[in-house]
């Protein structure tokens, strides 16, 4: 092996020219990131879209500087210190180590950069999550295979296809899913969150620009995932919103408030076999519920001993009386509340027959 006789390599004029070019490109990257007219391509429909754009600009500026420095010097050093035909065939490079000054700076600068990004990100995160007013309207959006539905206060049932919002009124939006994981993304709002069955996620924002803005599902949720981009958020003035709201109230006045009520009452409980229910219970329920412990004997969910016969707990966790029909309703619809989350029958893989058997079995627990 032939070692370089002179390990002290000094940078030459080419290095400083490349450094100047990198500095210039970095400045262009920063200026470009801050001057790029995002809203020409994507309007900012709500508060805090602008704050999120600020974060995007900071990330783009910082990221372009890092990219230009890394790629710039990588290219320069690859070319300046390339193998030459005059080199010995087994020559090795210069072993550079123990350069404290260099190591200090390449540790300190990225650390400082990451800390700045973290502070700015947490600030924006606060703006999105807790800095928004919560004294406006409260709405729900529920993802389905393959559409979104929305629930409004004082409107029975749900509203499909379009989520109407009044301009300048703060919105608290609770987001969840009825089947698989979807996502709720409105690019013009810059807000995006997964819609997870059994979990309620909250978004807060204030619509500011009237218009129609697409909602896009970005979580692969089945064969028709691709059609979950046709629905829209409609931001409109107070008068149009109110007239839409009253016509929707009138249209929905005969609907039920429980989207699962119709199918839940359709679970036929007659013919349920307790022994089959016991088997299903041990397979599907026993991981979370004790059959031998009372209400307070929680595993994950409450103990179910005497669930339909416990005078100390005449009501189920959803506040309904502990009747077979209401137990079946919870098994069918699942539960989200103070006691935690229980997936619905579809998620648990329970047929109506399974539910009938389970309810027959639960009724025998005394």
Binding residues for ligand CUA (CB under 6 A): 143, 146, 182, 217, 219-221, 225, 228
DSSP string, 342-365: E--HHHHT--HHHHHHHHHHHHH-
Q: Shortest approach of ligand CUA to residue 196 CB, angstroms? A: 12
Nearer to ligand CUA, 230 or 309 (CB): 230
Rounded distance, CA 349 to CA 54, Å?
45
Q: Shortest approach of ligand CUA to residue 219 CB, angstroms? A: 5
Q: Shortest approach of ligand CUA to residue 157 CB, angstroms? A: 21
For residues 176 and 195, is the Cβ–Cβ distance under 8 A? yes
Nearer to ligand CUA, 146 or 150 (CB): 146
Q: Shortest approach of ligand CUA to residue 365 CB, angstroms? A: 39
Q: Shortest approach of ligand CUA to residue 52 CB, angstroms? A: 22
Please list, residue by residue across 94-126, b when 16 or more beta carbons sit within 10 angstroms of its beta carbon and e when fewer do: eeeeeeeeeeeeeeeeeeeeeeeeeebeeebee
State whether the Cα torsion 247-251-252-254 is positive or negative.
Answer: positive
Rounded distance, CA 117 to CA 70, Å?
19
Nearer to ligand CUA, 176 or 248 (CB): 176
The number of residues making up the chain comes to 366
Rounded distance, CA 353 to CA 362, Å?
14
Nearer to ligand CUA, 26 or 344 (CB): 344
Give the CA radius of gyration of the chain.
30
Nearer to ligand CUA, 127 or 141 (CB): 141
Nearer to ligand CUA, 213 or 281 (CB): 213
Q: Shortest approach of ligand CUA to residue 181 CB, angstroms? A: 8
Nearer to ligand CUA, 184 or 241 (CB): 184
Furthest CA-CA distance within the chain: 95
Q: Shortest approach of ligand CUA to residue 230 CB, angstroms? A: 12
Burial category of 274 from C-beta neighbours within 10 Å (exposed 0-12, middle 13-18, buried 19 and up): middle
How is residue 5 annotated by DSSP? S
């Amino acid at each position: 092996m032939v070692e370089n006789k002179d390990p002290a390599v000094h940078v030459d004029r080419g290095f400083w020219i490349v450094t100047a070019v990198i500095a210039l490109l970095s400045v262009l990257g920063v200026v470009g990131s801050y001057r790029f007219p995002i809203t020409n391509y994507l309007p900012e429909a709500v508060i805090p879209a602008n704050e999120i754009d600020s974060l995007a600009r900071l990330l783009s500026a910082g990221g372009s500087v890092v990219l230009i420095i890394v790629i710039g010097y990588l290219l320069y050093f690859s070319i300046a210190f390339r193998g030459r035909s005059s080199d010995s065939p087994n020559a090795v490079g210069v072993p550079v180590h123990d350069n404290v000054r260099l190591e200090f700076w390449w540790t300190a600068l990225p650390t400082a950069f990451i800390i700045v990004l973290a502070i700015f990100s947490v600030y924006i995160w606060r703006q999105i999550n807790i800095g928004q007013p919560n004294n406006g309207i409260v709405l729900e959006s529920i993802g389905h295979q393959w559409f979104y539905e929305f629930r409004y206060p004082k409107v029975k049932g749900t509203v499909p296809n379009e989520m109407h919002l009044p301009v300048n009124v703060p919105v608290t939006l609770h987001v969840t899913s009825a089947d698989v994981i979807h996502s709720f993304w409105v690019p013009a709002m810059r807000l995006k969150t997964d819609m997870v069955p059994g979990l309620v996620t909250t978004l807060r924002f204030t619509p500011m620009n009237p218009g129609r803005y697409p909602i896009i599902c970005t979580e692969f949720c089945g064969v028709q995932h691709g059609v979950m981009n046709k629905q829209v958020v409609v931001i409109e003035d107070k008068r149009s919103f109110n007239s839409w709201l009253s016509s929707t109230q009138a249209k929905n006045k005969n609907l039920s408030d429980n989207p699962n009520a119709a199918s839940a009452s359709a679970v036929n409980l007659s013919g349920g076999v307790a022994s089959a229910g016991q088997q299903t219970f041990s397979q599907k329920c026993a991981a979370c519920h004790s059959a031998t412990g009372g209400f307070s004997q929680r595993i994950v969910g409450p103990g179910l001993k005497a669930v339909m016969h416990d005078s100390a707990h005449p009501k189920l966790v959803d506040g309904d009386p502990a009747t077979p029909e209401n137990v079946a309703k919870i098994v069918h619809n699942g539960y989200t509340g103070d006691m935690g989350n229980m997936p619905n029958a579809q998620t648990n893989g329970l047929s109506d027959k399974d539910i009938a058997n389970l309810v027959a079995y639960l009724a025998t627990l005394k």
